[in-house]
């Protein structure tokens, strides 16, 4: 059975996360007919081949035979020509990004030079694949499904390239791991974050994490996450009629009083004043998000 969702950009989103998934698919033990064997891609698609009756995958990518075992992952770039071998049914999931997102993903280290890699299905990757499949089943019941699937696919991509398939955390440079934490914060800032737990997840001690973070960003991790929350709150005030209490709850501020104080410190007006003066703030907010 196959599920294909080619219009994921139309899913509702409230997050400002810039890497929005444009398409999704999932298939179980599907055999590809001859007329589907050759494709030329116009977007960046990540395909995770989980299992197959065949031992080796012999798909041809730009004239190069993969010849790697299942499971594996293929990073299909815009303009890439792929010919599927079509021999054995395969189980897979996949997601895509618009071609214009490639430069951003490349700057984050999420656009590898090697187009295909063997895959280790560790516990976390299996969990994320399960979340992906669960989303497909329940997406119509979610309030902001676009945000949810953007997060799942981002975490899968990060898991594929940074955590399980690359060097262990201790073998990657502290600078590269700090950039990984930055990406993590950009998509998880609206959750309750235990910074020491995040630091440990990326191979840092408490002291080394704060040292390398301040050296890179010239602020504390706490202040960085707080700035992401305040920008998201400003965007919500500008674009929606959502009650302030809901914004406070959704962005995991510690309380209404704390939110009002921090918002005024950042924007020099109260949230209510900001919302009443939308036209005045629209251009200034756009400039802020373009920084």
Which H helix or E strand runs over 158? Answer: helix 145-158
Pick from 20, 22, 29, 28: which is nearest to 6 by CA? 22
Which comes out higher in pLDDT, residue 33 or 125? 125
Sheet of 90-97, strands arranged across? 2-5, 23-30, 90-97, 44-52, 72-76, 116-118
Alpha carbons 239 and 114: distance in angstroms, whole number: 40
Quote the tokens at residue 244: 């302030």
Assigned CATH topology for domain 222-289: Arc Repressor Mutant, subunit A (1.10.10)
- For residue 44, list its beta bridge partners: 97
The two most distant CA atoms of the chain are separated, in Å, by 64
Provide the pLDDT for residue 46: 94
Average pLDDT estimate for 72-77 = 91
Provide the pLDDT for residue 261: 94
Tens of pLDDT, residue by residue over 178-203, are 888 887 888 788 888 899 988 988 88
Mean pLDDT, the chain, as a whole number? 84
Angle at 53 between CA 52 and CA 58, to 5 degrees: 65
pLDDT category at 289 given cuts 50, 70, 90 is low
Do 189 and 225 form a contact (C-beta atoms < 8 A)? yes
pLDDT category at 165 given cuts 50, 70, 90 is very low
pLDDT category at 39 given cuts 50, 70, 90 is low
- Going by their DSSP bridges, the two strands 116-118 and 90-97 should be labelled as unpaired
| Domain spans, the chain | 2-162, 167-218, 222-289
Tens of pLDDT, residue by residue over 211-267, are 999 999 999 999 999 999 998 898 888 888 889 999 999 898 988 999 999 999 999
Angle at 170 between CA 164 and CA 171, to 5 degrees: 80
Tens of pLDDT, residue by residue over 129-162, are 999 999 988 988 888 899 899 989 988 998 888 7
Angle at 17 between CA 12 and CA 23, to 5 degrees: 55
State the residue for tokens 């997050």.
15
Provide the pLDDT for residue 34: 45
Assigned CATH topology for domain 2-162: Jelly Rolls (2.60.120)
Of 74-83, 165-174, 206-215, 230-239, the least confident: 165-174
Percent with pLDDT over 90 in the chain: 34
Tens of pLDDT, residue by residue over 100-109, are 988 888 877 7
Question: Does 1 score more than 70 pLDDT?
Answer: no
């Amino acid at each position: 059975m196959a599920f294909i969702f080619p219009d994921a950009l139309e899913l509702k989103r409230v997050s400002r996360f810039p890497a929005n998934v444009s398409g999704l698919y999932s298939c179980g033990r599907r055999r590809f007919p001859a007329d589907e064997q050759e494709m030329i891609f116009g977007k960046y698609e990540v395909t995770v081949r989980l299992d197959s009756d065949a031992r080796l995958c012999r798909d041809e990518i730009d004239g190069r035979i993969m010849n790697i075992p299942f499971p594996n992952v293929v990073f299909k770039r815009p303009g890439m020509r792929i010919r599927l071998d079509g021999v054995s049914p395969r189980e897979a999931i996949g997601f895509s990004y618009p071609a214009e997102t490639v430069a951003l993903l490349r700057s984050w280290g999420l656009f590898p030079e090697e187009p295909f890699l063997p895959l280790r299905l560790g516990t976390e990757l299996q969990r994320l694949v399960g979340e992906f499949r669960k989303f497909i089943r329940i997406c119509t019941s979610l309030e902001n499904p676009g945000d949810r699937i953007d997060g799942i696919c981002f975490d899968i991509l990060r898991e594929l390239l940074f955590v399980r398939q690359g060097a262990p955390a201790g073998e990657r440079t502290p600078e590269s791991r700090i950039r990984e934490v930055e990406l993590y914060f950009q998509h998880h800032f609206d959750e309750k974050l235990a910074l020491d737990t995040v630091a440990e997840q990326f191979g840092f001690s408490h002291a080394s994490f704060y040292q390398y973070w301040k050296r890179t960003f010239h602020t504390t991790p706490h202040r960085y996450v707080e700035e992401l929350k305040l920008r998201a709150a400003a965007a919500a005030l500008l674009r929606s009629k959502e009650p302030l209490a809901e914004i406070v709850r959704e962005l995991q501020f510690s309380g209404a009083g704390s939110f009002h104080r921090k918002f005024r410190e950042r924007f020099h007006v109260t949230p209510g004043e900001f919302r009443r003066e939308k036209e005045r703030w629209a251009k200034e907010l756009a400039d802020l998000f373009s920084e």
